Amino acid sequence: MNNATIVRPSLPRRVHMGRRAQSRIANLLTYFLLGVGMLFTLIPFVWLLSSAFKTPEKIMAFPPQFIPSPITFENFRYIFEKTHFEVFFYNSFTVTAVSLTSQLFFSSLAAYGFARLRFAGRNQLFMVLLGTMMIPFQAYMIPRFMIMRTLGILDTLAAVFLPYLFGGAFYIFLLRQYYLSLPRELDEAAIMDGCNFFQVFWYILLPLTKPALYTIAVLEFLASWNSFLEPLIYLNTQSKFTVALGLSLFRYSFGSRIEWGPLMAATLLVALPCLIVCFAAQKELIGGIATTGIKG
Amino acid sequence: MTPPTRSPVFRLTLRQRETISGYLTILPWFVGFLVFTAGPMMASLYYSLTDWGLVDQPKFIGLMNYQKMLSDPLVWQSLWVTVKFTITSVPARLILALIVALLLVRPIKGTNLMRTIYFIPSVVGGVPVALLWMWMLNADYGIVNYFLKLLGINGPGWIADPKWALWSLVLMSCWNIGSPMVILVAGLQNIAPHLYEAAELDGANGWDKFRFVTIPMLSPTLFFLLVSSVIGAFQVFDAAYVMTSGGPLRATYFYLLYFYQTGFRYLNMGYASALVWLLFVLIIIMTALIFRSSSLWVFYESEVKK
């Protein structure tokens, strides 16, 4: 690539070409390169969108059409007729809502404790918490499966959200940083006024962490909605499937031949909530990832 | 807020109440940690020393599973697939993310919108992305081969072709550079402008500034991204499961796919536990190696300031 484009806003320097002209060329080049990259980023989505609305004949047309004509909703009708897609959505929303609420509350509570309250072993426990973030989920997948079997909740939604009710290590870490940034005078004044520690948490500090909570809510929504491997091992019955699981098996539901139109329509429906969240919460999401650096 | 009413019999000091409240706040997390993380970790270590087919009782067999792994060709084959993917996908993604990040920190308009656009692929889940790319990489009707045809190239069969299947997944992974890009943008914005000013006074050109200011100052960020991307690449599952089921001819038979099939298709839970512990140990070793190497190439500002 062209290294000239890397140069940051230039500072006074002996000018050859005229600074204006030089920086205009550099800017044009920047726009051009970014534009090409965005094209590559967006074309798959355009293709997804157009495939979802194509008739079976047009989908196999070559050269392919980008704007389908005629536009058909047949693919969507088909997926709701052939499968229980609305049930998958309902299941995913349930799992997401339950784990989201619980994660937000218990992560906040633990973060408050780690950030504000003094008790023996606190720092050691926090190191343990940091350590758990590095363990790949697969390392404890089989025993988790056994736990769910022992509890008799295999093949229920409870198995999918149960491990995610107690506060996530990463969220606690993130919120703790946030709590540490709040002035201690707030707690002290409230304690003076006779609040106990839980009232300090609930009435004074928690409302101030709203921006961080928003970020975590978005991250947990995406994690829960997109989760695949865990539902895959716990769930067997179609009526219990989450969207990712339903979608992955959908491709086999036409026999050996894949019906691309309905499959892309289903893919679009599953991706849509995430896309909406991405745009609605772009500031919180991108800001949250920038400051903390999660997801590979 | 009402002042808390306390029974006079149990009047605790503020300090004692703080301690008790402290333990109570972290109790839910700690219970979850013991029951769903720490306990299962230990259990899986034990299972890895047993012969266990889910229906029967685990039978202790010592290190037999690990011994068996040494001579199991599928272990090595799936590890090799995983390593090939990691050493191509990780650098490719990081370099692409760095290029985009460098362009996005230039003083131009619309960078926020563009950053969001580059980020979109990362919010979509593994399964929808896999299905979308399956369709795009379709040999006959896929859009990738259509574009290649416009350029006069006869596209390969992609995921249907054993020679191309793994590279198809690498290509797909390069579409999703959102997270590293966003983190690199933040890293670049944290570099103090006076460093560039100083470099310019010393007569540095664009490349010099990139090589001697940007890269060293960004190296802690790159280091973090390298560690997390390698760990992520070793855990690839969704795409391989959905798109190829490991095929064709095991060209995309990732390590975790082998683990999953051993445990949940052939119900060989003992052996599967051993497989996953090997993965865990490998991840630790790689992380340690990257950490070791970091003293050679990662530059921490605080070391100089001291």
Whether the pLDDT of residue B3 is over 70: the answer is no
Structural domain includes residue A62: no
Residues A33 and A168 in one domain: no
Residues A161 and A246 in one domain: yes
- ipTM at complex level: 0.88
A226 vs B294 pLDDT, higher one: A226
State how far residue A3 is from chain B, nearest Cα, in angstroms.
6
Residues A201 and A146 in one domain: yes
pLDDT tens by residue, B207-254 = 899 999 999 999 989 998 999 999 999 999 999 999 988 888 999 999
State how far residue A40 is from chain B, nearest Cα, in angstroms.
8
pLDDT tens by residue, A183-232 = 999 999 999 998 999 999 999 999 999 988 998 999 999 999 999 999 99
Q: What's the mean pLDDT in B18-45?
A: 94
Structural domain includes residue A66: no
Residues A42 and A149 in one domain: no
- Establish how many alpha carbons lie within 13 A of residue B223's alpha carbon, considering only the half-sphere containing its beta carbon: 20
Q: Between chains, do B136 and A271 touch, taking CB under 8 Å as contact?
A: no
Average pLDDT, chain A: 87
Q: Between chains, do A27 and B224 touch, taking CB under 8 Å as contact?
A: no
State how far residue A185 is from chain B, nearest Cα, in angstroms.
16
pLDDT tens by residue, A129-166 = 998 888 888 888 999 999 999 999 999 999 999 999 99
The DSSP secondary-structure symbol of B241 reads I
Nearest CA in chain A to B184: A290
Signed CA dihedral, A208, A211, A216, A217: sign only: positive
Residues A10 and A110 in one domain: no
Structural domain includes residue A64: no
**Phi and psi angles of residue B37, each rounded to the nearest 5 degrees, phi first:** -125, -65
| CB-CB neighbors (< 8 A) of A165 in chain B | 32
pLDDT score of A225? 95
Residues A15 and A121 in one domain: no
Residues A132 and A187 in one domain: yes
Structural domain includes residue A69: no
Residues A84 and A32 in one domain: no
Nearest CA in chain A to B255: A138
Residues A100 and A9 in one domain: no
Q: What's the mean pLDDT in A59-68?
A: 81
Nearest CA in chain B to A4: B206
CA distance B104 to B120: 16
A and B: number of Cβ contacts within 8 A = 310
Q: Between chains, do A140 and B37 touch, taking CB under 8 Å as contact?
A: yes
Strand pairing of B50-51 and B59-60? antiparallel
pLDDT score of B117? 94
- Total structural domains within chain A: 2
Q: Between chains, do B128 and A197 touch, taking CB under 8 Å as contact?
A: no
Which domains does chain B possess?
75-293 (1.10.3720.10)
Q: Between chains, do A275 and B123 touch, taking CB under 8 Å as contact?
A: yes
Residues A157 and A219 in one domain: yes
Q: Between chains, do B132 and A128 touch, taking CB under 8 Å as contact?
A: no
Give the domain CATH number at A176.
1.10.3720.10
Structural domain includes residue A72: no
State how far residue A289 is from chain B, nearest Cα, in angstroms.
7
Residue A69: which region, alpha, beta or left (left: phi > 0; alpha: psi -120 to 50)?
beta
Composition of chain B by helix, strand, coil, percent to 5: 75, 0, 25
pLDDT score of B50? 94
Q: Between chains, do A117 and B18 touch, taking CB under 8 Å as contact?
A: yes
Residues A38 and A129 in one domain: no
Q: Between chains, do A64 and B146 touch, taking CB under 8 Å as contact?
A: yes
Structural domain includes residue A217: yes
Residue B79's contacts (CB-CB under 8 Å, 6 or more residues apart) are: B255, B282
Structural domain includes residue A73: no
pLDDT confidence bin for A296, thresholds 50/70/90: very low
Q: Which residue, among B78, B93, B75, has the nearest Cα to B228 in the 3D structure?
A: B93
Structural domain includes residue A65: no
Residues A39 and A103 in one domain: no
**Inter-helix orientation angle B126-136/A260-280, to 10°:** 130
In terms of residue numbers, what domain contains A25? 3-52
